[in-house]
Amino acid sequence: MELLVASAIGILTAAGLYLVMRLRTFPVIMGISLLTYAVNVFLFASGRLTVGAPPILTDATSYADPLPQALVLTAIVISFGMTAVVVMIALGAYLGADDDSVNDPVDPADTKAGDAS
Amino acid sequence: MTHWIILPVILPAILAPFIVLAARYHIGIQRVFSIAGVLALIVVAAGLAWQASDGTITLYQLGDWAAPFGIVLVADRLSTMMVLLTSVLGLFVLLYAIGSGWDDRGRHFHALFQFQLMGIMGAFLTGDLFNLFVFFEVLLIASYGLMIHAGGNVRLRAGVQYVLFNLLGSTLFLFALGAIYAETGTLNMADLAGRVSLISEDASVGIRIASVMLLMVFAIKAAVVPLHFWLPSSYAEAPAPVAALFAIMTKVGAYAIIRIYTLVFGPDVAVTEGLHGLWLLPAALVSLAIGMVGVLAARKLDRLVAFSVIGSMGMVMVAISMFTADSIAAALYYMVHSTLAAAALFLISDMVRAGRLNLNLTAMPIISGAALTSALFFAAAIAMTGLPPLSGFIGKLLILDAALDTPLATWIWAIILCSSLISIVGFARAGSTLFWKAKSVPIPEDRLIEPAPAVLSYVAVSGLLALLVAHTVLAGPIYAYTQATSAQLFAPAPYLEKVLETPGKLSKPKEGQ
Amino acid sequence: MSLFLIVALPFLGALLPGLMISAGRQACAGITFTVTLAAFIGLLTNLPAVLAGEVVTTGINWMPTLGLNVNLMLDGLGFFFALLILGIGLLIITYARFYLAREDNMGEFFTYLLLFQGAMVGIVLSDNILLLLIFWELTSLSSFLLIGYWKHLPEGRQGARMALTVTGMGGLALIGGMLILGNIVGSFDLSVILQSKDIIQESPLYLPALILILIGCFTKSAQFPFHFWLPHAMAAPTPVSAYLHSATMVKAGIFLMARLWPVLSGTPEWFVIVTTAGLVTMVLGAVIALFKHDLKALLAFSTVSHLGLITMLLGTGTAFGAMAAVFHILNHATFKAALFMSAGIIDHETHTRDIRRLGGLRHLMPITFVIASVAALSMAGIPLLNGFLSKEMMLEEANHTVLFNTPWLVPGLAVLGSLFSAAYCFRLIGHTFMGPKRDDYPAKPHDPPAGLWLPPALLVVLVVVIGCAPFVAEPFVKLVTASVLGDAAEVPKAYFKIWHGLVPALYMSIVAVVGGLIALALFNPLLRMWDAAPRPEAKTIFEALIAAAVALARSLIHTLHNGAFSRYAAIAAVTITAVSYHAWTTGTVGPATRVMQPAGPVEIAGWAMLVAATCGLAFMHRNRLLSLILIGIVGLMVSVGFVFFSAPDLAMTQITVEVVTIILLLLALNFLPNTTPIESTVLHRTRDVVVAIAGGAATFAMSYHFLLRDAVTSPISEFHLANSYKGGGGTNVVNVILVDFRGFDTFGEIIVLGIAALLIYALTETLLGGPVRARLLNRVPDQPRSGASHPMMMVVMTRVIMPVVLLVGFYIFLRGHNEPGGGFIAGLVVSIAFVMQYMASGFSWTSARLRYPYHGVIGAGVLIAGLTGIGSWFVGKPFLTSDFTYVRIPPFQEFELATAALFDLGVFLAVVGAVMLSLESFSRLARRAHVKDSEHPMDIDPSRDPLDDMTPTKEGV
């Protein structure tokens, strides 16, 4: 089980990183979301994995660690806000320049300086 | 039960939604509330600093829960000093924003400004790592809003990169927090310090990796090369007052490094032995060099200032990464200086726009209000390049002096001195082109007369420079204070005791130790 | 007068000229003169003490911990220099008042001049070497301003920058040297340093300190190889050249060498470096000076040469050498300042400084002729003038100096130097004043008003007096020498007299003078040779160096910061992975303390699905709609995982957030292109794959490591489990943590949401107010729209569901404290309900029926949360302290009222407001993009009379 979760985190991270290095905003945002999933799962897993013992107080003896769950919940909501914002800004940039690539267009002056040296 | 310590967080947090609710459409009222709020902040911050100046550590248990189970705010010399600096900076930046009318070029400037202050204050005051994360997010998202204030294509694109890079940073922060909780089962800084000491050296990987990840999170904030790439374009494209306010945000990273790596992963902690200095010092030296070379290379004034910020952060980090009482004291002194100087420079670079098409460092017809603006630029440049008589010079002396008996002394000295020379050349070229060469360019007849910057703008900038002068004249007492501060950091026992021994709701003392 | 006042007066006075200029040039110059005079008199009041051999000191602590204190001292040497600075300053101010043209801003000029004066006096009166550093750099800055005074002249700007760069470099070296010196001695006070010769010279750091300090001195005093900046500083107005660049500032380096002479000199290193530099500079300067046609350039190089002479004398390290140096400083200051002023007069009257265009001026400007010639002859070393005396002493000293074990070297070069020096002096007189009167002067020359010739005349009087009656100067020079030597050596007994008998020095100066005359006779052939000879032009080299540096910097910085986020991200990822890997490998891995839990087929199936969706996303991300679906699946699987690992709250939050996010992304995709083009090269993609896999592997290893090990001690959450009900009054521990234990996090978090919404709203406003709006208005949807985008079925469904969903939301909110649920989830559910209305019936229909402004909702939410927290202040508890009670209203069963629930209400409102405001902003963009929106709940409505349904098919969100 641990192996599954750990590998899931790894794969999510890898895919996320790959997408983050794309050239258009949309895939980059997708990548960020994947990374968010990965880190949320990791943060959640920092309370270790417990099956069938939700932290709702009953007369049970052991519960899953509630703190990481609370942290992840906060993290999820925050990252939702962040995603909304970045989508909006990216959209604004696209609508303004009619171009949705993340990288700045190459400034001819710079290449000139490069040749000068 | 004193509630003063939480006011720097709550005041803006209540004021901002109030502004949104009540004064959404009246810029005038917004301004009044904003100014009043910042003034109140200054008073509170001064009170806190005065309270902490004798070494008292004030603890505030939110929800009355004792650390480490609840969140605590801690006010010691360091945090109150930073809070005071932030609020004072906030005032002059706000004055400029109002004077130059920047705040009216988009919506919700003042609300976002207050939220920004709230985030920074919280980050300085909190004693809990995850809460630090939350405040990082608050100040970040507010900064996104401020950065793209008033829109514009270039600015938005820069904004996209800025946000994306910081999202990566936040992700890393969460990874670090997860690792720390998994390893130690706590989030409170003081408690963490205790638990790290329990970790045996033959199972040290977990905490080591956690500590370097955390270090890199803060290094991103502090714009340490090679994690600094987010800074140049975002600071250069941000509205001037916003960039000036951002001058404190890089210091948040520096603050966090000072805090965590003296309190939790101090130089004497065995398990994380030889990790931080190893990476930080070379990186800081490179940042210093890159920053000042960037000053020489810059083709636009705002870029030049942005790179000088990287450089001066490099300087701060050089001092910090020596992790000695003297070097931290020097770093704190320099930090105040570089915040004020950078802010002033950003504001001045905005004044230079008066009557110029752009900020390219090419000769154009002389700008309106050149005489005064150039004088201010000269003073601010002197400060930033660390020439006498302003505090940059004293800060440089302090850092050089602190570095004298470190193993890498020669390198540190060489790079600091050379980079200051480079920055002097860079600023001299820029200044003489902007203000001197301009006099040889004829003013075209069809040029419409640009008004000189508003008086309020000049007041704001002069105020910052006046603070720099005060920082110089009072260098003696101020340095004595930063020395006391760093002494307090290197003797964390009272801090730990205060945080962990104070009982709260339903908690018996000594619980969870 | 107090030393503080002497130093402070010029600085304080610097404010006045700027103010007085409005009262006229006379007043402006007058006030400047008065200020300087006051300082001068103040200095003289200390004369008795100095003559009595006392050292006047005063000081206040500035930064005692660093050793930087405002300690001033006045001894012979300091007095001597202060006298030169202020005395010549008075003459220069008088001169400048008549020299400056009407269009020059005199206030600015005198302000800079006084700043410089103060800094210079500060240097010579400092008792603390760090304080000295400060004044030192201040002189560089003020000279920068003065050289660049005529801002419109390019050579002025270049000269200023060059001077600042070179002297600035020296200043930085000096900082290093002084800090080392101070750390060797353990104090930065000269009074202490001057006592610790042995400690300094035995320290291993002596050489580095010496070299750094000498770099500082050489750059300031224009010693080879840093001599090149001085001639270009001549772009400054002549008063400045006369004052800074001949009489005072360039002597600062000499002063410092003299100041530290007792502790630094006497070692072979000092002797070799200083003497060599001095000799080379002396000869080089003299030779170049001879061939300069610009009067000021000639004088500049002669200054360089004479500074070299003085440096050489200090280098020998003998008491006699020091005395000769002091004497020559005095003499040089007198005749050189006079010469510069004369050059200025000539420039002022004839409008040229080019010697080739001058000549025969003696008839036209007799007064200037006399002044200039006497000064020049003194510089040439003609008897009965003061230059002769000190030059004799120099040659005398040179005779006894053996460098590199070649006895003839120093004397030979000394003679050569004096020869050329004599030659250019003769040329100055000959080619400027002698010869036939010309008729092609740019202007009609005649003697200037007294204001211009009196100051140099005064100096020339001194030249003659000292020259004829050396014994007048002798006691003073010896006094100064004594304070230079300190207790390192005895003041030599030698007397100053004109006739020493037939000593070698006499022959040497005869050779020099005669040789000088011959050289002048042969000037034209020599000049041809000189012009033919290839020689490096310092300025071009310097400019090329700077240009190269800038180009290098640019290529470095701009290639590094090329604005490519994808590369920045890659660099960050690599850095983070590498550093973490290093931390990992240098640590030790402890044994696993937990056993791996078995995984059933179901779990594996779920895992497989997640992995499949993720990889699919990575591979098929170009199809954006598909990638949205895939990411939805990923989110779904993650929330399923949360359920499975006993985190119901998380699962609910995740799933609801998922829905909202997808809607949001759909709205965005409505504008963005539907596919991502293939741009990055295969190489790039392979690079990215490698980086990504490395990062993934790292996180995998880390997670796996932690999952199999326990925390070092029991986690704090045990306390939460134990006290959630007792202290928080709730059985859902996660919720209690959110609203109580760590309510502050939640507070920050709803603020994040609120800000996000405000930001999105603000940006929408900006966009719609800007050029984007037009583009949106005439934008054609890239996909055909359905005829009935508000289908009746959906409308009816949503209407029916609406109350149900709201009820569910309310229920989730209430139960939150004890069962999975809470403010967030409730908020999200409710907002989804609203969104469904938007989707069903379009934007305007819904918003027309929605009475609450979302700003208000957000604000209210945050305020409620905040005020709930503040509420606890009134019961003397900290922020956010919760309280709860159980009430029982029959017939209902007992239920709980908690302040936490109120806080949660704030959360709820903030979430609803934030989500709705964001979605609304997005759809407002969309709305602008479409034709007018339907006012009807649904497009095809059987209950509506088709006749009044004139509206065409509508498009909603």
Contacts of B292 (CB under 8 A, 6+ apart): B307, B308, B311, B419, B420, B422, B423, B426
Token digits of residue C84: 């030169």
- Percent of chain C scored above 70 by pLDDT? 93
| Residue C289: pLDDT band with limits 50, 70, 90 | confident
C66 has a pLDDT exceeding 70: yes
| Higher-scoring residue by pLDDT: C803, B329 | B329
Give the best residue of A2, A32, A39, A98 to mutate against chain B (max B CB count within 10 A).
A39
Q: Which residue has the tokens 């009982």?
A: B503
Tell which C residues from 891 to 920 touch A, by Cβ distance under 8 Å.
911, 914, 918
Q: Does C866 touch chain B (CB under 8 A)?
A: yes
Q: Which of B117-121, C282-286, C523-527 has the lowest mean pLDDT?
A: C523-527
Average pLDDT, chain B: 90
C782 to chain A, any CB pair closer than 8 A? The answer is: no
* Percent of chain A scoring above 90 in pLDDT: 50
Q: What is the pLDDT of residues C531-552, one digit of tens each?
A: 888 777 778 888 889 999 999 9
The per-residue pLDDT for B510 is 46
pLDDT at B513: 38
* B171 at interface of A, judged by CB pairs closer than 8 A: yes
Q: Which of A2-16, B287-301, C913-927 has the lowest mean pLDDT?
A: C913-927
Cβ distance B297 to C740 less than 8 Å, yes or no, reads no
State what percent of residues in chain C have pLDDT above 90: 15
pLDDT tens per residue, range C305-325: 999 999 988 888 888 888 889
Chain B residues with CB-CB distance to C130 below 8 A: 397
Nearest by CB to B157, from A36, A82, A97: name it.
A97
Q: Between residues B267 and A86, which one has the greater pLDDT?
A: A86
Which residues in chain B have Cβ-Cβ distances shorter than 8 Å to A89? 144, 148, 156, 159-160, 163
Residues 6+ apart with CB under 8 A from B252: B120, B123, B124, B136, B139, B221
Contact (CB, 8 A) for C319 and C481: yes
Range name among B271-275, C213-217, C686-690, C912-916 with the lowest pLDDT average: B271-275
Residue A36's pLDDT band, with cuts at 50, 70 and 90, is very high
* A residues 18-77 lying closer than 8 A (beta carbon) to B: 20, 25, 28, 32, 35-36, 38-40, 42-43, 45-48, 67-68, 71, 74-75
User: How close is the nearest chain A Cα to the Cα of C626, in Å?
Assistant: 12
For the stretch B52-80, pLDDT in tens is 999 899 999 988 888 889 999 999 999 99
| Tens-digit pLDDT profile for residues C577-636 | 999 999 999 888 888 888 888 888 888 999 999 999 999 998 888 888 899 999 999 999
Are A17 and C692 a contacting pair at CB < 8 A? yes
Total domains in chain A come to 1
**Distance in angstroms (rounded) separating the CA atoms of residues C648 and A54:** 7
| b/e B239-261 (16+ beta carbons within 10 angstroms → b) | bbbbbbbbbbbbbbbbbbbbbbb
A117 falls within a domain: no
In a domain, B509, yes or no: no
Q: How far is CA C244 from the centre of its chain?
A: 27
In total, how many domains does chain B have? 1
Q: What is the per-residue pLDDT across C632-653, written as a single tens digit (0 to 9) for each?
A: 999 999 999 999 998 888 998 9
Please indicate, yes or no, if residue A116 is contained in any of the structural domains.
no
Report which DSSP code applies to C503.
-
Does the predicted interface ipTM exceed a cut of 0.90? yes
Beta-carbon separation of C703 and A26 below 8 A: no
Q: What pLDDT, in 10s, does the model give residues C546-578?
A: 999 999 999 898 888 888 898 999 999 999 999
Contact B184 C713 (CB under 8 A): yes
Chains sharing 3 or more CB pairs under 8 A with chain C: A, B
Task: Quote the minimal CA–CA distance from A65 to chain C in Å.
Answer: 6
The interface residues of chain B toward chain A in range 148-167, judged by CB-CB distance below 8 A, are 148, 151-153, 156-161, 163-164, 167
- Residue numbers of the domain that contains A103: 2-111
pLDDT band for position B511 (50/70/90)? very low
* Full domain range(s) for residue B343: 4-198+205-443+452-499
- Please write the tens of the pLDDT for every residue from A69-103: 999 999 999 999 999 999 999 988 888 888 888 88
Calculate mean pLDDT across residues C811-817: 79
- Residue C51: strand pairing partners: none
Query: Looking at the domain assignment, is residue B170 inside a domain?
Result: yes
> Which subunits have 3 or more CB–CB pairs within 8 Å of chain B?
A, C
Residue B507 lies in a domain: no
Q: Is the peptide bond before A108 cis (omega within 30 degrees of 0)?
A: no
Query: Who's near C690: CB < 8 A, 6+ residues apart?
Result: none
Give the pLDDT confidence score for residue C937 in this predicted structure: 63
Please answer yes or no on whether A107 and C693 come within 8 Å at the CB atom.
Answer: no
Question: What tens digit of pLDDT does each residue of C353-362 get?
Answer: 888 888 778 7
Would an 8 Å CB–CB cutoff place A59 in contact with chain C? no
Of the partner residues B171, B233, B297, the one whose CB lies closest to the CB of residue A36: B171
Residue with tokens 């409620």: C864
Distance from CA of A4 to the nearest CA of B (A): 18
Q: Band of the pLDDT at C955, cuts 50, 70, 90?
A: very low
On whether residue B382 sits in a domain, the answer given is yes
Choice between B163 and C897, residue whose per-residue pLDDT is larger:
B163
Q: Could you give the residue ranges of the DSSP H alpha helices within C591-716?
A: 601-619, 624-644, 648-669, 682-707
Residue B489, domain member (yes or no): yes
Residue type, B252: V
**Which chain B positions have a beta carbon within 8 Å of A28's beta carbon?**
164
pLDDT at residue number A17: 94
pLDDT at B138: 94
- Those residues whose C-beta lies under 8 Å from the C-beta of residue B320, and which sit 6 or more positions away, are B254, B257, B258, B280, B284, B327, B328, B331
Phi-psi region of B323 (alpha: psi -120 to 50; beta: other; left: phi over 0): left
Tens digit of each residue's pLDDT (9 = 90 or more) over C838-870: 777 666 666 666 666 788 888 888 888 888 888
**Average pLDDT of chain C to the nearest whole number:** 84
Partner residue facing A77 (CB), from C646, C697, C753? C753
Phi/psi for C866 (5° steps) reads -60, -45
Q: Which of B151, B182, B299 sits opposite A46 (nearest CB)?
A: B182
Q: Tell me, yes or no, whether B506 lies in a domain.
A: no
Mean pLDDT confidence for B97-102: 91
Distance CA A44, CA A8 (A): 13
Q: How many whole angstroms from its chain centre is CA C694?
A: 38
pLDDT at C386 over 90: no
Is B470's Cβ below 8 Å from some Cβ in C? Answer: no
pLDDT band at C935 (very low <50, low <70, confident <90, very high): low
In this prediction, residue C939 has a pLDDT band, given cuts at 50, 70 and 90, of low
Task: Write the residue in C661, C671, C721 that is nearest to A80 by C-beta.
Answer: C661
- The C-alpha of B136 sits at a distance from chain A's nearest C-alpha, in angstroms, of 11
- List phi, psi (to 5°) of B126: -70, 150
Q: Does A58 contact chain C (CB < 8 Å)?
A: yes
**C786 lies within 8 A of chain A by CB:** no
Residues 54-113 of B with CB under 8 A from C: 60-65, 68-71, 106-108, 111-112
Question: Do the domain assignments include residue B338?
Answer: yes
* In-domain check, residue B286: yes
The one-letter code for the residue type at C444 is K
Question: Directed axis angle between helix B7-22 and helix C854-871, to 10°?
Answer: 150
Contact assessment for residue B319 and residue B447, using Cβ atoms and an 8 Å cutoff: no
Tell me which of B134, B171, B237 to substitute to probe the interface with A (most A C-beta atoms closer than 10 Å). B171
The CATH number of residue A22's host domain is 1.10.287
* Contact at CB, C733 and A55, closer than 8 angstroms: yes
The stretches of C21-153 forming alpha helices (DSSP H) are 25-44, 47-51, 76-99, 106-125, 129-147
pLDDT digits (tens, 9 = 90+) for B325-340: 999 999 999 999 999 9
Residue pair C43/C82 in contact by the 8 Å Cβ criterion: yes
Residue C74 sits at φ, ψ, to 5 deg, of -130, 110
Q: What are phi and psi of C137, to 5 degrees?
A: -65, -30
User: Does residue A86 form part of some domain?
Assistant: yes
Q: What is the pLDDT of residue C957?
A: 38
The answer as to whether A97 is a domain residue is: yes
Contacts of C571 (CB under 8 A, 6+ apart): B226, B229
Closest approach of B344 to chain C, Cα-based (Å): 20
